[in-house]
Amino acid sequence: MAYYYDEPSHTFSEYLLVPGYSDSNCIPSKVSLKTPLVKFKKGEEPKISMNIPLVSAIMQSVSNDTMAIALAKEGGVSFIYGSQPIERQADMVRKVKSYKAGFVTSDANIKPDATLNDVISLKEKYGHSTIAVTDDGTAKGKLVGIVTSRDYRVTRMTGDELVSSFMTPFDKLICAKEGTSLAEANDIIWENKLNALPIIDKDNHLVAFVFRKDYEQHKSNPDELLDAHKRYIVGAGINTRDYETRVPALVEAGVDVLCIDSSEGYSEWQSRTIKWIRDKYGDSVKVGAGNIVDAEGFNFLAEAGADFIKIGIGGGSICITRETKGIGRGQATAVIEVAKARDEYFKKTGIYVPICSDGGIVHDYHVTLALAMGADFCMLGRYFSRFDESPTQKVFVNGSYMKEYWGEGSARARNWQRYDMGGAQKLSFVEGVDSYVPYAGPLHDNLALTLSKVKSTMCNCGALTIPELQEKAKLTLVSSVSIVEGGAHDVLVKDAKNHN
């Protein structure tokens, strides 16, 4: 006879935090969101910790090198998607590890014989107002000029004008030579009242840009996540099929942490993958595993040697695993049970294995709930896909700007490697959808708002750290009527767009 759970599984939206006592010291500016990313022994420090409890999902539509750099600047980690050729993924890792803070490789470039319409298209695609004009239209071509929004007026031009006719030409630009330090570059920017400073080599080929806004952002961003060599920390997704060739390539590229990307992690395939990594690299290569939804799954992967364990099956906004296969569990219930198993495992072995809540985050406060329930950090897909830094196109749909977003189990992703069934490489049905999400702008501004909400709620609970939140939090289930009562009701909201 099948085993039946006594209680139904619950989602985050079915819970609320009950406020606790807050003393005068409990203010958001004093809250620390530091959290372990990988396992550690009692009395020791983890090899990798994060300054914020958020990582971006292992998805084509979310995590590439651009997202990885942006999130590391904020104190989190991106896991660059693995559903791509090995060398391309390794190349993305190299770009993150070789990125020099403040020096930005130009991704919006154009030839001088292109037109204003081409400039407008580039601006819409990348969201940048500064576009480099190079002889071959590449990021490393010979710099011949720059186009900014000050160089043209769309209403007074036809769109067919050549870039060369309205760009700011090279001889009127202020540039700096390759080898200029970031401090020197920023001095040039301030002395000449520039918004952007091109860095060129001895042959006038474009090397990078230094932007005034990046300097200001750097000063206001003390949480950037760096390794021992002052390089940004980056993760990468792997599967249980080609790990013998993919893992060495990623390690050689400098990856800091790996994660097995699978729809269901309680399997022999995952334990084989972890064992191969341990046999070849020992504990020097960090690898997370998952996804699981109960204590049995956690204990299996912890014993297999996982450095962190992901929780969640079917809770993602683009995941339809529950609809197609009827498996999964409410995310809140899954996190609560696995957190108990994690704590019991720590008491028994002295080894703390961090757990990651993956999926089911709809509102910002769900992050705080997941942490209070025991998660060490959360993996988000839809949330990060909305930002400028995600790798997808910004498109205009029904009068609003949107970003494309699709699941790794969708026909578009064709990422069948994450379904550990052995045998055939392709499945006969999909477990994810292809969709749009509302465009939200730059990651930095949005993330700052989310984290301020998390910190404020922690203070309401009398907690200044995540472990303290987990110790002090009081959680209550709410009825369907209570959920309605919790939002705006019995009024006509003036600005629905800002109501969340």
Catalytic residue positions, numbered: 319, 418
Strands in 42-114 per DSSP E: 49-50, 54-56, 77-80, 109-110
61 contacts: CB under 8 Å, gap ≥ 6: 381, 385, 390, 391, 392, 404, 405, 406
| Single-letter code of the amino acid located at 366 | H
- Strand 40-41 relative to strand 351-352, pairing: antiparallel
The single-letter DSSP state of residue 416 is G
- φ and ψ at residue 429, rounded to 5 degrees: -150, 160
With H, G, I as helix, E, B as strand and everything else as coil, classify residue 413: coil
102-134 core/surface letters (b: 16 or more CB in 10 A; e: else): bbbbbebbbbbebbbebbeebbeebbbebbbbb
What's the helix, strand, coil split of the chain in %, to 5? 35, 20, 45
Q: Tell me how far the alpha carbon of residue 221 is from its chain's centroid.
A: 17
Separation CA 91–CA 252 (nearest Å)? 10
Tokens of 361: 């985050």
Across the chain, how many H-helices and E-strands are there?
A: 16, 24
Separation CA 480–CA 14 (nearest Å)? 8
- φ and ψ at residue 308, rounded to 5 degrees: -155, 165
Separation CA 458–CA 470 (nearest Å)? 10
95 contacts: CB under 8 Å, gap ≥ 6: 65, 69, 105
Residue 29 contacts residue 299 (beta carbons within 8 Å): no
Separation CA 442–CA 117 (nearest Å)? 24
